[in-house]
Amino acid sequence: MLTGMKVAVIGGDARQVELIKNLCEWDATLYLVSLDNLEGDFPGAQKVKMDEVPRDELDAIVLPVPGTDDEGYMETHFADESPRLTKTWLEGVKSSCLVFTGITKDYLTNLCNELHLKLIPLFDRNDVAIYNSIPTVEGTIMMAIQHTEFTIHNSNVTIVGFGRTGKSLARSFHALGANVKASARKKEDLARIFEMGIKPIHTNDLSKEVKDCHILINTVPSPVINVKVLQNLPQHALIIDLASKPGGTDFRYAKKRGINAILAPGLPGIVAPNTAGNILATVISQILLEEKGERSS
């Protein structure tokens, strides 16, 4: 049990609901910030303002999955104003306090480094990213269906990137009967793609391989869907860019060419918030229990 542990949950999307329920069941004391419009009964949780959180008593802070932007602002689907994580606020936290996020960028990483706080980007963990790829794939299939007028079966689908999400996408679209090409840059990944009965392409060669593409799905968080690739992509192709903001697509040029390119962040939180929230809750609870065990031993 997490009895006696104090956790601040700041902002976030529907995934946070399951996480909060879970932490309440484990008997943690929760401070919910920028979650004013959250409905439901959460025993042991209280809604507070950022400056009302007893920062020096916190064992953990749970930030929204995307972390913060370059100025410390965070997303919330349950309040009108975005909360902001500032250095002054975080300075009031004790050094043993854990900071959980899904992903992290420079602002958050630098702030935690500077204050010697342990930052835990959950999606850096393979287990979390692989579990999370399940609702991500389902959301991507949903988008492909919503934005095309043809079946996935027998359509030409290019998956860019063969990491934890790319692998799950390649296998699922292949199983749905699409003609899948998957791109990677490591020889071992290209070999695995071949072994799966999928056409491997080197990510650097994408521009030569997209001439007959109907749906292009990007998972590479770098500008790989560039002008050269877009020039060779048919105008009627659909791009679903899953990579973290700003994505890997030159959206300006895609628009100029009349290609429907969609940046689709946070699909697990949209299509399966309970599952996605549970994935996060399980790992956070495990880490907090380990932490509690270590402190009391």
Binding to ligand NAP by residue 132, rule CB under 6 A?
A: yes
Query: Does residue 78 touch ligand NAP according to CB under 6 A?
Result: no
Task: Determine the interface stretch with ligand NAP among 39-47, 77-85, 107-115, 242-250 (rule: CB under 6 A).
Answer: 242-250
Helix H or strand E segment including 33: strand 29-33
203 binds ligand NAP (CB under 6 A): yes
Contact call for residue 272 and ligand NAP (CB under 6 A): no
144 belongs to the binding site for ligand NAP (CB under 6 A): no
**Residue 224 interacts with ligand NAP (CB under 6 A): yes or no:** yes
**Contact flag: residue 58 with ligand NAP (CB under 6 A):** no
* Amino acid type, 260: N
Asked if 193 is part of the footprint of ligand NAP (rule: CB under 6 A), the reply reads no
Q: Which residue has the tokens 């799905």?
A: 217
Question: From edge to edge, which strands make up the β-sheet containing 45-48?
Answer: 45-48, 29-33, 6-10, 60-62, 98-101, 118-121
Residues touching ligand NAP, count (CB under 6 A) = 27
Q: For ligand NAP, which stretch binds (CB under 6 A), given 5-13, 19-27, 182-190, 275-283? A: 182-190
Nearer to ligand NAP, 155 or 203 (CB): 203
By C-beta, is 26 or 162 nearer to ligand NAP?
Answer: 162
Beta partners for 76?
12
What is the 3 state secondary structure string of 69-117? CCCCECCECCCCCCCECCHHHHHCCCCCCEEEECCCCHHHHHHHHHCCC
Q: Does 244 bind ligand NAP (CB under 6 A)?
A: yes
Stretch that binds ligand NAP, among 35-43, 114-122, 217-225, 289-297 (CB under 6 A): 217-225
Q: Does the protein bind ligand NAP through residue 155 (CB under 6 A)?
A: no
CA dist list (Å): 30 to 2, 180, 292: 11, 46, 16
The reply on whether position 68 binds ligand NAP by CB under 6 A is no
State which residue, 22 or 244, has the beta carbon closest to ligand NAP: 244
Under the binding rule (CB under 6 A), the answer on residue 172 touching ligand NAP is: no
Q: What is the DSSP letter of 249?
A: B
Q: In sequence order, which residues have a C-beta less than 8 Å from that of residue 91 and are 6 or more positions away?
A: 115
Q: Are 83 and 46 in contact (CB under 8 A)?
A: no
Give CA–CA dist 218/160, Å, rounded.
5
What span, in angstroms and rounded, lies between the C-alpha atoms of 253 and 267?
Answer: 24
The distance of closest approach from Cβ of residue 101 to ligand NAP in the complex, given in angstroms and rounded to an integer, is: 12
- Using CB under 6 A, pick the residue from 190, 215, 264, 272 that binds ligand NAP: 264
**What residues make contact with ligand NAP under the rule CB under 6 A?**
103, 129, 132, 136, 161-166, 184-186, 203, 219-222, 224, 242-244, 264-268
